[in-house]
């Protein structure tokens, strides 16, 4: 694979499996005394290529969510003297963290700096699906528009409807605030425990707006949420309990004209079942940013008019992607200097000119 090397005379080598946006991350690492091998090809490396890229000596890796760092790859890292694997993502289910922990390799991620960007993309997908934006775009480009018509491309009004949120972590909570406070929606949400700060903020908003009948409620039964929600937004973490969380029986519980969006991981939805449901329920609308067998789509999905397909671009704002690179660099520097893990809620201090002497986010 094609590689660009920066600061080759430094003794500690970092492998970055993609060219990342911005320059600050490069400056931070070179000023800290690291050399960088940056893969410049815009494709996902194969397993054999990853093993070859690691080589015989590698202090740290900045890897991607699209790469599978399984036990064999992680043991290769250990043999090469690797001390840090920095995932250029919030999620890290692509890494064998148990093996990394066994070998003393710190696994880091990039939370906090892409929260609002990803939540905004969720909002964009919600309205693109609800108001049939992609259908309208295609309609116009094909020259089919002959003028305004009463029934043309009608979609769903979301004002004061009910949002069903599954997963109320940082990103899910941010999305809920945007939807509820922007459109006065009710909110049912499912999470392992109640999110009282979010609940209180949204309830206070409804009080301020005089919405006496509005509700913000934590539910333990996802089936109830699916039955009662006009918008179903998926933001759960991926684990054995959330694989195919949305399957054929649960899709059957949804309102026939509900809007479903997935900003989590593709495996949360049984994509084959989703295709069948979309075929048989033409008013059921869907927006997806992630896919079960990414980058491949389930057969028939791309042919359906009632689904909007995004290219896993939830965090793809200029600011977020550069900040993610900065966090990767600071994670590596923090581990190398034995800085303690950061315990604060906001990553903003690490984006300042003089970041604190902590490691931003160590997950294993």
Active site residues: 265, 294, 312
Could you give the CA distance from residue 321 to residue 324 in angstroms, rounded to a whole number?
Answer: 5
Contact (CB, 8 A) for 37 and 52? no
Residue with tokens 């004209």: 257
Please name which of 234, 117, 123 lies closest in space to residue 169, comparing C-alpha atoms.
234
Residue 217, CA distances (Å) to 90, 164, 242, 251, 260 in order? 27, 10, 21, 21, 19
Quick count: other Cβ atoms within 10 Å of Cβ 7? 17
Q: What are phi and psi of 181, to 5 degrees?
A: -80, -20
Please name which of 261, 211, 195, 205 lies closest in space to residue 231, comparing C-alpha atoms.
261
Tokens of 164: 């069903």
């Amino acid at each position: 694979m094609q590689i660009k090397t920066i600061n080759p005379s430094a003794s500690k080598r970092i492998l970055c499996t993609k060219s990342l946006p911005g320059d600050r991350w490069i400056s931070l690492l070179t000023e800290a005394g690291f050399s960088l091998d940056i893969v410049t090809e815009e494709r996902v490396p194969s397993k054999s290529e990853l093993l070859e890229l690691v080589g015989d000596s590698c202090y740290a890796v900045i890897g991607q969510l699209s790469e599978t760092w399984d036990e064999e790859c992680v043991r290769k890292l250990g043999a090469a003297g690797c001390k840090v694997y920095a995932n250029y993502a919030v999620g890290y289910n692509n890494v064998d963290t148990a093996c990394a922990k066994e070998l003393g390799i710190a696994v880091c991620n990039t939370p906090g700096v892409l929260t609002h960007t990803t939540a905004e993309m969720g909002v964009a997908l919600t309205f693109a699906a609800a108001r049939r934006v992609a259908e309208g775009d295609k309609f116009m480009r094909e020259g089919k528009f002959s003028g305004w018509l009463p029934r043309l491309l009608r979609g769903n009004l979301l004002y004061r409807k009910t949002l069903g949120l599954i997963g109320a972590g940082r990103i899910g909570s941010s999305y809920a605030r945007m939807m509820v406070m922007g459109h006065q929606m009710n909110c049912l949400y499912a999470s392992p425990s109640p999110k009282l700060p979010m609940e209180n903020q949204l309830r206070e908003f409804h009080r301020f707006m005089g919405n006496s009948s509005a509700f913000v409620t934590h539910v333990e039964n996802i089936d109830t949420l699916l039955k009662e929600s006009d918008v179903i937004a998926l933001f759960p973490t991926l684990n054995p309990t959330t694989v195919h969380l949305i399957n054929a029986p649960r899709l059957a519980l949804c309102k026939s004209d509900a809007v479903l969006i997935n900003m989590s991981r593709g495996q949360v939805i049984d994509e084959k079942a989703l295709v069948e449901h979309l075929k048989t329920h033409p008013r059921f609308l869907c927006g997806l940013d992630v896919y079960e067998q990414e980058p491949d789509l389930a057969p028939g999905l791309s042919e359906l008019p009632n689904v909007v397909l995004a290219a896993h671009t939830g965090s793809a704002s200029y600011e977020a992607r550069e900040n993610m690179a900065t966090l990767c660099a600071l994670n590596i520097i923090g581990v190398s200097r034995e800085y303690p893990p950061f315990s604060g809620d906001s990553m903003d201090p690490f984006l300042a000119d003089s970041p604190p002497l902590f490691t931003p986010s160590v997950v294993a």
